[in-house]
Amino acid sequence: MSKAAFFSLILGFISMSALAQQRPPAISSPNVHADNSITFTYFSRTAREVKLSGEFLKEPVLLTKDTSGIWRVTVPPVTPDIYPYNFTVDGVGVADPNNTQIFANERFKRSIVEVKGDKPLVHSLQNIPHGKVTYHTYSSKTLNTTRQLLVYTPPNFDASGKTKYPVLYLIHGGSDTEETWTKVGRANFIADNLIAQGKAKPMIIVMPYGNVRPAPMADFTKDVVNDIIPFVQANYPTQTDSKGRAVAGFSVGGGQTLNIGFTNTDTFAYICSYAPYTATDEFKKNFTDWTPDADKVNKQLKLFTISVGTEDFLYESVKQNIAMFQEKKIKVEPLIVSGGHTWMNCKLFLANSLQQIFK
């Protein structure tokens, strides 16, 4: 850290000074107001146009610049939730530089804003017993590299081995990371809340990193089955039959879920696919000319759900997938809700699954 940067920090602690006047002003963004309206703020003396896009908006809105270079817009009250948003500055999408809540993603530059509302939501941090999330480094023989995965263990987790826990393998969307399900999807708090309410069984949730490029996507299926499951079972007291394992995922991860699940129905008795993206070589290979023994598969699976929102741009594709499974006589429970291809829906889909699996 430079001396100037450090003193800028210290000055920020104490007071605005004449020195600080010459620096960019301290910006606070976003600011959620009592009525759930939100003000977004951006600073640039030279930008020509700053737009706000957010999953609480139908269309981007323009920010207005004041004479000091501060751009602002206030959006009307929104439904309490956690929303991704970003700015587009002269045509370039950027995260909100003044918001430390960054959307964990390798491609999109987005931030998240939490509108808490009056009542706790399914993902809200509440004063209840909490599980924990552990960052592991594991060696993938399949991918010949060392990777990271996250493991949620429930409140009052018994590491002694006396209790054997069921395990949900939960996969992020394309270009997300292994942190997206906790940092954006709040999977840990959703599980904490549902377990506290007696609505979900205490379980382990494993959140791997699903991006295996430049390897083909099918190598992720191998990584899960040959590397991740053995790693988890070696390090945690888990149930080791298919009825103690579930796989779920969103978008590209929803497609991976179908691939992983249906090529391993002896391993996973629960398959939960959220707004799956299935225009992939792996999906074509697995499901074109697929002739499953439907009776056998339906006996192996205790639950197979496909969830999607009616405004999801993949809605038609997902409906075709559901029809395909039905045509093959595979028992599928569709969950069709309103809303789009969003992490707001994703959290609802997960909350629904957590109440259905391992029961």
| Residue number, 33 or 132, with CB nearest to its own copies | 132
Residue 195 is given by DSSP the state H
Q: Applying CB under 8 A, which residues contact its own copies?
A: 1-3, 5-6, 9-10, 12-13, 24, 43-48, 53, 55, 84, 89-95, 97, 100, 102, 105-109, 125, 127, 130, 132-139, 146, 159-160, 173-175, 177, 182, 251, 277, 279, 313, 340-342
Closest CA to 193 of 132, 137, 123: 123
Could you tell me how far CA 58 lies from the centroid of its own chain? 21
| Residue number, 68 or 291, with CB nearest to its own copies | 68
CB 30, min distance to its own copies, A: 15
| Residue number, 114 or 356, with CB nearest to its own copies | 114
Residue 131 is given by DSSP the state -
| Residue number, 7 or 287, with CB nearest to its own copies | 7
CB 52, min distance to its own copies, A: 13
| Residue number, 192 or 304, with CB nearest to its own copies | 192
Q: Rounded to whole angstroms, how far apart are CA atoms 285 and 224?
A: 18
CB 261, min distance to its own copies, A: 22
CB 215, min distance to its own copies, A: 13
| Residue number, 197 or 326, with CB nearest to its own copies | 197
CB 11, min distance to its own copies, A: 11
61 burial type by CB count under 10 A (0-12 exposed, 13-18 middle, 19+ buried): middle
Tokens matching residue 222? 């191998």
Q: Rounded to whole angstroms, how far apart are CA atoms 248 and 254?
A: 7
| Residue number, 236 or 270, with CB nearest to its own copies | 236
Contacts of 294 (CB under 8 A, 6+ apart): 328, 329, 330
Length of the chain: 359
Query: 204-231 burial by CB neighbour count: b if 16+ within 10 A, else e?
Result: bbbbbbbbbeebebbbbbbbbbebbbeb
Q: Rounded to whole angstroms, how far apart are CA atoms 153 and 132?
A: 6
Tokens matching residue 29? 């963004």
CB 342, min distance to its own copies, A: 7
Phi, psi of 352 (to 5 degrees): -65, -45
CB 206, min distance to its own copies, A: 13
Residue 120 is given by DSSP the state -
Instruction: Let me know: does 115 contact 83? Beta carbons within 8 Å.
Output: yes
- DSSP 3-state assignment of 248? strand
Instruction: Let me know: does 170 contact 203? Beta carbons within 8 Å.
Output: no
CB 103, min distance to its own copies, A: 10
| Residue number, 47 or 335, with CB nearest to its own copies | 47
Bridge partner residues of 152 (DSSP): 133, 205
CB 141, min distance to its own copies, A: 12
| Residue number, 99 or 267, with CB nearest to its own copies | 99
